[in-house]
Amino acid sequence: MPQWWRVGAAYVGLYLLLDWASYVEPLPHTSITPWNPNTGVVMALLLARGVHWAPVVALSIFVGELLTDAGPPPWPVLALTSLYLAGVYACAAWSLRRRNLMAPIETPAAAAWFAGVVGLASGIAAAGYVGILVGAGELKPEDTAASIARYWIGEFSGIIALTPVLLLRVGRGFHWEETLRNARAFVLPALGILVGLGFAFALAAARDVRLFYPLFVPVTWIALRYGVPGAMISVSLVQAALVAALELTPGSIPLFDVQFPLLALGITALFLGALASQRDVALRQVRDQDAVLQRSLRFAAAGQLASALTHELNQPMTALLSYVRAAEVMTEPPASADARLVETLHKAGKEALRAAAVLRRLREFYRGEGARLEPTDPLAVCTRVAGALQERMRRGSVEFELRAREGVPRVMVDRTQLEIVIHNLLTNSLDALDALPPQRAQSRRIEIAAETDGANVLIAVDDSGPGVAASLTERLFEPFVTSKANGMGLGLSLSRTLLRHQGGDLYCEPSRLGGARFVVRLATRVTAQTNL
């Protein structure tokens, strides 16, 4: 099991290194130090790889204390504390794993569970650990409360800072390759971290605890901008730098004095980062949805293009083939003709048939599956599509409103095709608003209204754009008719075709908003006309 060994070796190595490095300002005869990033490694291992790693954890704690402590307690006490700590953190990891929280933290809810469980576990760990040491006579009973508090905050703060960073390697939430590709994005957070490190050393040099608070500025900024990964990496680095600065600067303030702000910094960054991550994930989902819609839209448009092309080309092909056949008849006896002419005409006829077959295949390829009719909530579709276009509406400062009379029933349509139609109409409206002169910029408005009409549902998309030019109204729904410089003129033709195949329709009228009003008629039942 080479993988097994690699994980174990990496864990033990990292644990011992951090344990050694963070062994600063210990309480005498204990390993109670103000900041324990090594416990962060423990939690990461137990969360990511499973609770059955607890024995390895116990062993590493035991070895770590033996190696790093200046005056370690006798080994039976050490063994007891090691087993106890490993047991407590294994329980914490088990309860988090039961809630599927071993993945990178991406939501405030996950951050709250993580912070809550870890806070409780480190408190229990601290109480038990100090209790064992007091019982063994290693600590004076009067120091109990202060020791527990210090150990608790040190453990808590170490886990909060380091575990989320280490967990990033586990899940798919953080895209290392993607991040590395835009290396320029690293410049700003790196600057932020440098500022943070500067404050850390300034704090040490000035011996002024108040200088701690400016540290929140770069860390919160990075958290909001880069989510949990950025937040927790910067927190770990700043915490490490602060510990190093205070340790290396002779006569600076004791590390225990900044222990609590350090924890506060870690928790703040975790929650802000989780909020930002959640926002990023939501944005990415919207963008992905839009991309899927665009793809099916393109495919449908290509199908419409193929269909229109086949129709346009079939006419000359029919004429061509008939002319060739007529010419062949003319060469038949009693008229006399060169044998080569007869053969050539025959070949020409064959080629014309071959071209026709190519056209037919092209059309069949794009026809794809027919519409899949299912009961669909038309308002939900409108909301979804409008959501996908939200960003564009915001950019164009368009007021958007979705109005519905009470109880619009479900309609029998193909959901994707209805999305394509609504998307088409909304982008048409947005394009129309873009074409408005700047002096009319204050009245950019799009409204979608749904109402019931007998066995049908009517969805009207109104805009305050320039409306449909009189020269276009007649032929608006024909393929290749467009008012846009870079449009294909397939959107409306495609939309109407899709709807008519489902027993619906699409028509255009002037809008009371001053622009165009497109009405989608959808059937609530499958009728005889459907798919005719």
Residue 363 or 392: the one with the smaller Cβ distance to another protein is 363
Residue 170 or 302: the one with the smaller Cβ distance to another protein is 302
Q: Token digits for 72?
A: 């370690």
Q: Give the contact letters, 286-325, x = binds to another protein (CB under 8 A), - = no.
A: ---------------------x--xx--xxxxxxxxxx-x
Size of the site for another protein (CB under 8 A): 25
- Does position 341 interact with another protein (CB under 8 A)? The reply is no
Residue 177 or 474: the one with the smaller Cβ distance to another protein is 474
Helix, strand, or coil (residue 460): strand
Nearest by Cα to 321 from 286, 345, 297, 288: 345
- Does position 329 interact with another protein (CB under 8 A)? The reply is yes
| Shortest distance, position 504 Cβ to another protein, whole Å | 15
Residue 217 or 330: the one with the smaller Cβ distance to another protein is 330
Residue 316 or 387: the one with the smaller Cβ distance to another protein is 316
Among 330, 358, 380, 435, binds another protein (CB under 8 A): 330
Nearest by Cα to 174 from 106, 237, 114: 106
Q: What angle do CA 101, 106, 107 make, to 5 degrees?
A: 90
- Does position 24 interact with another protein (CB under 8 A)? The reply is no
- Does position 13 interact with another protein (CB under 8 A)? The reply is no
Determine the Cα–Cα distance for residues 156 and 178; give it in Å rounded to an integer.
Answer: 31
Region label for 207, one of left (φ > 0), alpha (ψ between -120 and 50) or beta (otherwise): left
Determine the Cα–Cα distance for residues 2 and 244; give it in Å rounded to an integer.
Answer: 35
- Does position 326 interact with another protein (CB under 8 A)? The reply is yes
- Does position 527 interact with another protein (CB under 8 A)? The reply is no
Residue 349 or 467: the one with the smaller Cβ distance to another protein is 349
| Shortest distance, position 325 Cβ to another protein, whole Å | 4
- Does position 353 interact with another protein (CB under 8 A)? The reply is yes
Determine the Cα–Cα distance for residues 289 and 269; give it in Å rounded to an integer.
Answer: 30
- Does position 356 interact with another protein (CB under 8 A)? The reply is yes
Burial classification of residue 183, based on how many CB atoms lie within 10 Å of its CB (0-12 exposed, 13-18 middle, 19 or more buried): exposed
Nearest by Cα to 118 from 139, 94, 147, 150: 94
Helix, strand, or coil (residue 522): strand
| Shortest distance, position 226 Cβ to another protein, whole Å | 54
Residue 308 or 422: the one with the smaller Cβ distance to another protein is 308
Q: Give the contact letters, 471-510, x = binds to another protein (CB under 8 A), - = no.
A: ------------------------------x---------
Among 29, 363, 384, 392, binds another protein (CB under 8 A): 363
Nearest by Cα to 380 from 413, 356, 352, 355: 413
| Shortest distance, position 329 Cβ to another protein, whole Å | 4
Q: Please report which helix (H) or strand (E) contains residue 135, including its range.
A: helix 108-135
- 255 Cβ partners below 8 Å, 6+ apart? 24, 25, 34, 35, 243, 246, 247
In 380-502, DSSP assigns E strands to 399-404, 411-413, 445-453, 456-463
Strand-strand pairing, 505-510 and 445-453: unpaired
Residue 352 or 492: the one with the smaller Cβ distance to another protein is 352
- Does position 225 interact with another protein (CB under 8 A)? The reply is no
- Does position 360 interact with another protein (CB under 8 A)? The reply is yes
- Does position 443 interact with another protein (CB under 8 A)? The reply is no
Q: Biggest alpha carbon distance in the chain?
A: 129
Determine the Cα–Cα distance for residues 466 and 433; give it in Å rounded to an integer.
Answer: 7
Residue 113 or 323: the one with the smaller Cβ distance to another protein is 323
Stretch that binds another protein, among 43-51, 255-263, 355-363, 424-432 (CB under 8 A): 355-363
Residues within the interface to another protein (CB under 8 A): 307, 310-311, 314-323, 325-326, 329-330, 352-353, 356, 360, 363, 501, 531-532
